[in-house]
């Protein structure tokens, strides 16, 4: 049984979501290859080749792949699929975008967002906003799976796999127009050890940044937000933590002015330590918080800044 992992490329390297997906893949097979896609990805492929226990890195280059266009990724992977019993990708927005497409073409049931590999054909995944975990067995010979990165440890470095070029498909009937990426020097939400998240209580974009940014900088943290804060335009869409946003599991998660709706909890309840600052003592967030502070954030956050020194 051989497994293909589609890498999550980040410029000249690959994100640790790739390493975590490799860990999940190694539970299925010792023969794990990594596919790195996108024009000018040679350096990223070399980085992937250093992941411990990876057998081989495949490098597929085309402009369409640089933008992760689903039709191009699908065609590229389909051309390789014969050689593999399973294809895995991290459950990022890219993985979620192209993996079901690949599954449909292979006539297999995709398995989304696994948090555990029980055996070769059996996996556990959250459903109902994480209020239940289902363990499912697939009858498909080929498996197409997305992996929740926070549920797996990152594979180490120290590998020396070879890099082999494969054909990269061109764009299909959807063309890239433009992108607007949020620039930040802070750690990425999914990878940060500390996350500070703000909710509707912050009241405006100016206030959100005035309160959250200095705290994040002091803690070396990433900034997240509730849906309400994103919908209201206080924070970019990419900050949303939850059932339908990002899933995070940092060592420390600090929720500020967030009520704790189930959809929000779905994205952060696996954090090691949860702190909640909320002026309503009955806010549901306190039911999952290790440390709850019933306070107005307007006084609590400055106090916290001082106490952190």
Partner 1 sequence: MKVLVPVKRVIDYNVKARVKADQTGVDLANVKMSMNPFDEIAVEEAVRLKEGKEHHAAGTADEIVVVSIGVQQAQETIRTALAMGADRGLLIQSDTDLEPLAVAKLLKAVVDEEKPDLILMGKQSIDGDNNAVGQMLAALLDWPQATFAGKLVIEGGKATVTREVDGGLQTLAATLPAVVTVDLRLNTPRYASLPNIMKAKKKEIAMKAVADYGVDTAPRLTVQKVTEPPKRSAGVKVTDAADLVAKLKTAGVL
Annotated binding residues, written as ranges, equal 200, 226-227, 240-244, 257-264, 278
Q: Figure out which of the listed residues 2, 42, 53, 71 binds partner 1, where binding follows CB under 8 A.
A: 71
Write the binding mask 188 to 227 for ligand FAD: x where contact by CB under 6 A, - elsewhere.
Answer: -----------xxx------------------------xx
Work out what residue 59 binds among partner 1, ligand FAD, none; the CB cut-off runs from 5 to 8 Å by kind: none
Q: Which residues contact 8 (CB under 8 A, 6 or more apart)?
A: 14, 15, 17, 18, 21, 89, 90, 92, 94, 95
Q: How far apart are CA 16 and CA 245, in angstroms?
A: 19
Q: Figure out which of the listed residues 44, 89, 102, 161 binds partner 1, where binding follows CB under 8 A.
A: 102
Residue positions forming the annotated binding site for FAD: 200, 226-227, 240-244, 257-264, 278
Report phi then psi at 308, rounded to 5.
Answer: -75, -20
Work out what residue 96 binds among partner 1, ligand FAD, none; the CB cut-off runs from 5 to 8 Å by kind: partner 1
CB 108 → partner 1: shortest distance, Å? 7
CB 96 → ligand FAD: shortest distance, Å? 14
Contact predicate 285/276, CB 8 Å: yes
Q: Give, as one character, the DSSP assignment of residue 187.
A: P
User: CA-based Rg of the chain, rounded to a whole angstrom?
Assistant: 20
Q: Figure out which of the listed residues 59, 155, 235, 289 binds partner 1, where binding follows CB under 8 A.
A: 289
Work out what residue 41 binds among ligand FAD, partner 1, none; the CB cut-off runs from 5 to 8 Å by kind: none
Q: Which residues contact 56 (CB under 8 A, 6 or more apart)?
A: 33, 34, 161, 162, 163, 164
Within 10 angstroms of residue 206's Cβ, the number of other Cβ atoms is: 10
Q: Figure out which of the listed residues 1, 30, 135, 167 binds partner 1, where binding follows CB under 8 A.
A: 135
Q: Interface residues for partner 1 in 236-255 (CB under 8 A)?
A: 236-238, 243-244, 246, 251-252
SS3 state at 228 = helix
Nearer to partner 1, 30 or 172 (CB): 172
Tell me if 291 contacts partner 1 by CB under 8 A: yes
Tell me if 187 contacts partner 1 by CB under 8 A: no
Whose CA is closest to 135, among 143, 147, 127?
127
Q: How far apart are CA 21 and CA 215, in angstroms?
A: 31
Tokens 């996108």 found at:
38
Tell me if 1 contacts partner 1 by CB under 8 A: no
Q: Figure out which of the listed residues 59, 223, 228, 275 binds ligand FAD, where binding follows CB under 6 A.
A: 228
Contact predicate 152/24, CB 8 Å: yes
Q: Give, as one character, the DSSP assignment of residue 155.
A: P
Angle between helices 205-219 and 297-308 (to 10 degrees): 20
Q: Output 271-276 pairs: Cβ under 8 A, ≥24 positions apart.
A: 271/195
Nearer to ligand FAD, 61 or 270 (CB): 270
DSSP string covering 7-66, please? --EETTEE-HHHHHHHHHHHTT-SEEEEEEESTT-HHHHHHHHTBTT--EEEEE--HHHH
Tell me if 240 contacts ligand FAD by CB under 6 A: yes
Tell me if 162 contacts partner 1 by CB under 8 A: no
Number of residues that bind ligand FAD (CB under 6 A): 28
Nearer to partner 1, 201 or 230 (CB): 230
Nearer to partner 1, 30 or 193 (CB): 193
**Which residue ranges make up the site for ligand FAD (CB under 6 A)?**
199-201, 226-229, 240-245, 257-259, 261, 263-264, 267, 277-280, 283, 296-298
């Amino acid at each position: 049984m051989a497994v293909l992992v589609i890498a999550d490329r980040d410029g000249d390297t690959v994100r640790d979501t790739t390493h975590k997906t490799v860990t999940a893949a190694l539970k299925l097979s010792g023969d794990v290859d990594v596919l790195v896609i996108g024009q000018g990805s040679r350096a990223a492929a070399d980085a992937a080749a250093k992941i411990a226990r990876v057998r081989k890195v495949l490098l597929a280059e085309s402009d369409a792949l640089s933008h992760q266009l689903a039709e191009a990724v699908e065609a590229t992977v389909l051309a390789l699929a014969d050689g593999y019993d399973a294809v895995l990708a991290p459950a990022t927005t890219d993985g979620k975008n192209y993996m079901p497409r690949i599954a449909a073409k292979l006539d297999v049931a995709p398995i989304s967002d696994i948090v555990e590999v029980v055996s070769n054909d059996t996996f556990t995944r959250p459903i109902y906003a994480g209020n239940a975990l289902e363990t499912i067995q697939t009858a498909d010979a080929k498996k197409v799976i997305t992996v929740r990165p926070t549920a797996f440890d990152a594979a180490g470095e120290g590998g020396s796999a070879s890099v082999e070029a494969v054909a990269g498909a061109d764009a299909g009937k959807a063309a890239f127009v433009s992108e607007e990426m949020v620039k930040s020097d802070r750690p990425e939400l999914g990878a940060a050890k500390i996350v500070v998240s703000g909710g509707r209580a912050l009241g405006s974009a100016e206030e959100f940044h005035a309160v959250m940014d200095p705290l994040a900088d002091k803690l070396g943290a990433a900034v997240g937000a509730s849906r309400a804060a994103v919908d209201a335009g206080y924070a970019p869409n990419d900050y949303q933590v939850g059932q339908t946003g990002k899933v995070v599991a940092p060592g420390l998660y600090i929720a500020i002015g967030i009520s704790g709706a189930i959809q929000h909890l779905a994205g952060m309840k696996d954090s090691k330590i949860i702190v909640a600052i909320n002026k309503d003592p009955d806010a549901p967030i306190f039911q999952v918080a290790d440390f709850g502070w019933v306070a107005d954030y307007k006084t609590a956050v400055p106090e916290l800044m001082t106490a952190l020194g």
